[in-house]
Structures are given as structure tokens and as C-alpha cells.
Amino acid sequence: MMSGGISGLAGLAVGILASALLAGGKLAANEIGDADRGRDVFRACAPCHQVGADATNRVGPQLNGIFGRKAASVDTYVYSKSLARAGSDGLIWDLVRLDAYLENPKALVSGTRMNFRGLKDKQDRDDVLAYLRLFSDDPANIPEAQPTARPAEVDLPPEILALVGDPDYGEYLGSECQTCHQGDGSDAGIPAITGWPDEDFVVAMHAYKQKVRPHPVMQMMAGRLSDEEIAALAAYFGGLE
């Protein structure tokens, strides 16, 4: 049995799309959505996920070839135990399950670390899936479409991004962070920050520091940190599994 199971919400999505398949034959993502608009919708996903020829794993896994892929199967990415178990139990990312996961990730896989409330608008989900289809089996699992263009969240000087943090110092600083964020990567309503690439961590903290990201507690915490302290925290949390 897949961890978390498929809830009533996911089951409803299965029923609706299964009916569409029976009524209209083969249903492809690019037949139910607008890929051009989906490119814009995907910007909400882009801080964590990449697609395109140079896509790499970041906070979340790269999404090239997502259609028809077994859950938790991207090499070198460390998944939550719940999603890894779902993959072992046979969860395949087809159109039905991708739609259900995008609508409410934790309804399909209750223990996922994906801290995203979901896309509640059906047209948004259809469009972003049509866009992702361009990087899957249309064409033939080759990510020939251009990567999503997204501006830098914050404009940081190269010397800040080049700072090499001291993980031991980061561990000392991180004790305060772990009053909310769990060092073991577990998620109880607070996003997990373990295993993040250093650059993603640094950019996120500076985005809070510059008040680009709207979270008053994180803005206060980041505002007290120096560039070196942010780099140290990045090195520490990035090294945790």
C-alpha cells in the first residue's frame, strides 16, 4: 500500500481524468493545457525545481522526464522516506497523479517534504503540466525546450556567493534555527532546510534579509546575520542528511 494512500481528493482526480480518457481516447498534457501559459505558472515552482537542458537537482529534484517516471527515482537526489516508499510501492507520475499531487502534495503522499500548498485552480494545473510535458515524452524524453526564464530573486555580488562557510560555526549558529527547523529533515508544518545546495540557502536567507521574501520572523532572523554567518549556516545545513 502506498504511504499515505490516495485520498478522496486524489481519488476524485483519478475518476475525473479516467472518465475523460474513456470519453476521448488518449489524453496528453499538451492537449488539455496551454504550455506557454504554463511556463509562467511554473515560476512558482522554479525556486525549487529546474527543467531544461542544464537542469540539476536543487532544493527539489529536476523535472525533466517527469511523465511516466517512477516516484523518487532521480539519481543523487535524497527524497523523503514517504516519497521513496511510495516509489517502491509503484507510484508512477502519470497525468492523473501529477494533477492530484499538484493540487495537494500531502493528500497524495502525506509525508512528502514538498512544502507547497498546491495549485487549486484546475487551469493552472493543466497549463503547468502541458509545459512540463515539453521536457518529457514530447519530444521523446529529450528536454529540447528552453529552460524557464526567471530573474534572480536577489542580486548578490559574486564574492558573497563565493564565501565558503565553516560548518562547525554553522552548527553553533544553527541551534536557534532548530527550534523550528528540524535537523533530521522532518517536516511538521515548518519547511525542512537540510541538504539544500549552499547557493540556494544563501540566496533564500538574503532574500529574507532584503525583505524580498515576506515572512516577518525570517526577515528578523536573517537581518541579524552577517554574510559569513549565512555562509556558515548554509555549509552546516547543506551537509546534513
Average pLDDT, the chain: 81
Return the pLDDT at 136: 82
User: 183: Cβ–Cβ under 8 A, 6 or more apart, which residues?
Assistant: 174, 194, 240
pTM of the model as a whole = 0.60
**Mean pLDDT lowest for which of 57-66, 94-103, 109-118?**
109-118
Return the pLDDT at 236: 95
Q: Reply yes or no on whether the pLDDT at 230 is more than 90.
A: yes
Return the pLDDT at 210: 93
CATH number for the region 158-238 comes to: 1.10.760.10
Indicate the length of the chain as a whole number.
241
Question: What residue spans in the chain does CATH classification 1.10.760.10 cover?
Answer: 8-133, 158-238
C-alpha distances (whole Å) from 61 to each of 39, 47, 58, 113, 220 are 18, 11, 6, 12, 29
Q: What is the mean pLDDT of residues 120-129?
A: 93
C-alpha cell at 35: 504550455
CB 229 within 8 A of CB 206: no
Return the pLDDT at 194: 87
Q: Reply yes or no on whether the pLDDT at 8 is more than 60.
A: no
Looking at residue 46, its amino acid is A
CATH number for the region 8-133 comes to: 1.10.760.10
Give 151-189 pLDDT, tens digit per residue.
Answer: 677 889 999 999 999 999 999 999 999 888 877 767 666
85-89 LR contacts (CB < 8 Å, sep 24+): 85/2, 85/3, 86/2, 86/3, 86/4, 89/1, 89/2, 89/3
Give 83-112 pLDDT, tens digit per residue.
Answer: 999 999 999 998 889 999 999 998 899 888
